[in-house]
Amino acid sequence: MSFPLLRKMLRARRWLVPQSLATRASLATSIVFLAGVAVMASVSLQTFDKQLSTVLSSEQDLLVGRIGGDTSRPRIRTFPAELVLRSTHLRARRTRR
């Protein structure tokens, strides 16, 4: 490293590091507050993720239960046959083009 570059870095360090005690204390307080906010945000995100997973799984279970209860209807029982019939019809239309 050359000496002029080292001198520039030392000048920048003097400029970045505050000189007065009040300014240093304010900077330290701000850094501690920012770290606290970051910790709170990460805890909140983890809690949100856990609650979201719980809600989604319970809603999925409810939906599966509703679909399972609807299988007694005759229309739902005929869906697979209708899907096969329609897909065959669509394939036939594609081959004619």
Q: Annotate 81-96 with b (16+ C-beta within 10 A) or e (fewer).
A: eeeeeeeeeeeeeeee
Indicate if the pLDDT at residue 7 is higher than 80: no
Mean pLDDT of the residues in the chain: 79
pLDDT at residue 1 greater than cutoff 60: no
**H/E segment holding residue 83:** helix 79-96
State pTM to two decimals.
Answer: 0.49
At residue 8, what is the residue type? Answer: K
Position 30 confidence tier, pLDDT thresholds 50, 70, 90: very high
pLDDT of residue 83: 74
